[in-house]
Amino acid sequence: FADELGHCVYLFERDCSLQRRHQKVVEEAPAPGMTDARRRQMGEAACAAAHAVGYVGAGTVEFIAEHDFATSGCFYFMEMNTRLQVEHPVTEMITGLDLVEWQLRVASGERLPLSQSQLRANGHAIEARIYAENPDRGFLPSIGTLVHLRTPPAVAFTVGADAGGRPAAVRIDAGVGEGDAITPHYDPMIAKLIVWGESRAQAVARMREALARFEAAGPSTNVDFLGRLLRCR
């Protein structure tokens, strides 16, 4: 995140290795196995890239890492997405920040609200993308009317809450509801399901539970596939 005054910070990292058809389906923060030294190395490289082009606003710098990255430190630049990404809620979950608010403040010419030394990551967050698609047919999109849609209850999450007092959270970002049609003209995403836990193990357990309580009828969905995937984590 960079402002017009030359300040730039990195909001830690997300791991987006779980993909299908070159598209992310599960994202988490922080990345498993990341050390503080490697996190700083990668974050500083991201800020250097932003400074090099005079970038202002939110952006996601994507790197691909060697399999032994934790020890070798070898990683390579892939691309920069000049926007918030679909998985930005996991960053909000572990930092307690409202990144959309930050965008508005920076766009108004304000200084970044926090410096790098003031940023803290707390706990672990995971996002699963619920798609209308058929995993048994190569994840091909599935169309039709959502005749039934019931999501697990969201647990209140206060952005900006003190890191020591943040409640366990379940967040659901959805653009469709029961009775809506999934058409071939748009991305078949039904919802994003995001959970937070004090540890990665707790977050995985909460995601499994949340997926088990997600009900959708009409088009095929990847809910069962995501459940199987989380059982392998």
Just list the catalytic residues.
83
> Measured on CA atoms in the order 20, 22, 25, 26, is the torsion positive or negative?
positive
Query: If you write DSSP's letter for every residue of 26-75 in order, what string do you get?
Result: EEEESPTT--HHHHHHHHHHHHHHHHHTT--B--EEEEEE-TTHHHH--E
- Find out whether 154 and 204 touch, Cβ atoms under 8 Å: no
Burial 194-205 (b: 16+ CB within 10 A, else e): bbbbeebeebbe
Q: Quick one: tokens of 63?
A: 């790197």
Q: How many residues does the chain have?
A: 233
Structure tokens at 144: 């039709």
Residue 77 Cα to chain centre, angstroms: 19
